Amino acid sequence: MASVDILSAEGQKSGSVDLPAQLFEAEVSEQAIHRAVVVYQANQRQGNASAKGRSEVAYSKRKHHRQKGTGGARRGTVGSPLLRGGGVAFSLPKPRSYYSRLPRALRKRAITSALSHKAQEGKVIVIDNPQLGEPNTKSFATLLSACGAGSGKVLFVQATADAAIVKSGRNIAGVTMSTASTVGTYEIIANELLVLTSASVEALGQVHGG
């Protein structure tokens, strides 16, 4: 079980914590991570692309010219896909759903692979549970900088959502706020640094390490 230092708000070592081996020392499956990312991105699509089919264009349904004897191609109405402005031959269903889902086992393997990958790269930082009485973006930014997470894309994970912390961090460019129960594979992979609170380490083990 890997042990990492717990950093204080000033960036000083204040203790250590053991990262759950089942989450941070698992075999990394690139296939599971890839599948989880593809499913997440597919589920973000609105599916509202629209193209009118031949039966939907507002043109006359009368046959344009006689079938034979003109020397031209045989054609029905002016809504034919052969003509400019005509209906699309294979138009999209409206609206189209791109929804997909992962099997539970694959979803669990993907998130453990993502966490283990971050741990192997040394991109996991654990800090003391921050205490803010009210939202203060400047104070939160100072805390991140002191802990070595002041630049780049940062994923900050709490055990449970603290309103003051969330409001303090969401205005900082490149910082994504999440909780142990809602964090996903895509968020972990899309950010360079994973910043955990000491309470969220235990919460991650309870939520994802069963």
Q: Checking DSSP bridges between strand 124-127 and strand 193-197, what pairing results, if any?
A: parallel
Backbone dihedral region for residue 88 (phi beyond 0: left; psi -120 to 50: alpha; all else: beta): beta
111 and 54 in a single domain? The answer is: no
Same domain, 68 and 170: no
Do 107 and 93 have their domain in common?
no
Q: Mark whether 55 and 120 lie in a shared domain.
A: no
Nearest-5° Cα angle at 168, 163 to 172: 135
Please report the beta strands in 59-129, taking only residues with DSSP state E, as ranges in sequence order: 124-127
pLDDT tens digits for range 109-143:
999 999 999 999 999 999 998 988 899 999 999 99
Place of tokens 């939160």: 140
Residue at which a domain ends, from 97, 131, 166: 97
pLDDT given for residue 16 in this prediction: 92
Do 77 and 168 lie in one domain? The reply is no
Same domain, 130 and 196: yes
Write down which residue in 97, 131, 163 finishes a domain: 97
Q: Where do we find the tokens 């802990």?
A: 147
Question: 62 and 131: one domain?
Answer: no
Do residue 122 and residue 165 come from a single domain? yes
Query: Do 41 and 71 sit in the same domain of this protein?
Result: no
Which positions ≥6 away from 83 have C-beta within 8 Å?
75
Per-residue buried b or exposed e for 157-178, using 16+ beta carbons within 10 Å of the residue's own CB: bbbeebeebbbbbeebeebbbb
pTM of this prediction?
A: 0.83
Whether residue 1 is predicted with pLDDT greater than 80 in this model: the reply is no
If one counts the domains in the chain, the total is: 2
Q: Which residues pair with 155 in a beta bridge?
A: 176, 194
Average predicted confidence (pLDDT) for the chain: 92
Q: Which domain holds residue 144?
A: 3-45+102-208
Other Cβ atoms less than 10 A from the Cβ of 87: the count is: 18
Q: What CATH number should be reported for the domain holding residue 11?
A: 3.40.1370.10
* pLDDT, tens digit (0-9, with 9 covering 90-100), for 101-115: 999 999 999 999 999
pLDDT tier, 210 (very low <50, low <70, confident <90, very high otherwise): low
Task: Give yes or no: residues 40 and 111 share one domain.
Answer: yes
Q: What is the pLDDT of residues 3-58, one digit of tens each?
A: 899 999 899 999 999 999 999 999 999 999 999 999 999 999 998 888 888 888 99
